[in-house]
Amino acid sequence: MSESSSIKVQHIVRSLAGHYGEIDWWPGDTDEVMIGAILTQQTRWENVERALLELRGKELNCMRSLYAAEKKDIEEAIRCTGFFRIKAQRLQSLAAHVSESYGSVDRMNHVPTGKLRDGLLSVKGIGDETADSILCFGFSRTSFVIDAYTERIVRCIGIKDERQELKILFEKVLAGDPKVYRQTHAHIVEYAKEFCLKKEVR
């Protein structure tokens, strides 16, 4: 990664922070962040919130109960997020991973970030973005989330790195503060939505 890329990223981070200030962006306890991370795949957040309400109503808003639940019940609750069959499967796969590998969500707190990440990535249906969202917003770890918006924004200012390099680049600039990681990702998404950065932007 070039020197100038770091400077550009620093500039983005600082400008967005100045513009938006501190925002409370991904509410919910660790269980609900994990659930939301899967439900929001290719889906608007407003629909995810509705599904979370449904899940709460059925007391299916935690890994422990999802593990034991009937898939039918999960599907019914999350229908409004689209891809509901595959997402119900993904939720149960994640719940199984948590229960079988760690025993509980709580026990995951002692696990080093790299190990946690590898474990999450071993779950079918959890890719880089979902894993990093869970780590960053659910467990307050310094694992930066690179999503489609991040890619589009950095493309606009002439950075053409792949996602893996972008992650390293941002993490170098952001140093070690998990709160800054969360804020920066939130700012990027808000900015991209506000200015309607669509797919064709390069």
Partner DNA sequence: GACCAGGTCCTTG
Partner DNA sequence: CAAGGACATGGT
Binding positions for DNA, rule: CB under 7 A: 25-26, 36-37, 40-47, 79-87, 123-131, 133, 137, 147-149, 189, 193, 198-200
Q: Which candidate, 25, 46, 31, 47, places its Cα nearest to that of 145?
A: 25
Q: Distance (Å, rounded) from C-alpha 119 to C-alpha 94?
A: 10
Cβ nearer to DNA, comparing 4 with 57: 57
Tokens of 201: 């932007």
CB of 7 to DNA, least distance (A): 26
Tokens of 150: 């991040």
Please tell me whether residue 29 adopts helix, strand or coil conformation.
Answer: coil
What CA–CA distances, in Å, run from 1 to 14, 58, 143, 145, 175? 20, 48, 18, 18, 16
53 touches 62 (CB < 8 A): no
Cβ nearer to DNA, comparing 42 with 158: 42
Amino acid (one-letter) located at 146: I
CB of 9 to DNA, least distance (A): 19
Cβ nearer to DNA, comparing 84 with 102: 84
Q: Distance (Å, rounded) from C-alpha 176 to C-alpha 23?
A: 19
Cβ nearer to DNA, comparing 6 with 156: 156
Cβ nearer to DNA, comparing 6 with 80: 80
CB of 180 to DNA, least distance (A): 16
Amino acid (one-letter) located at 4: S
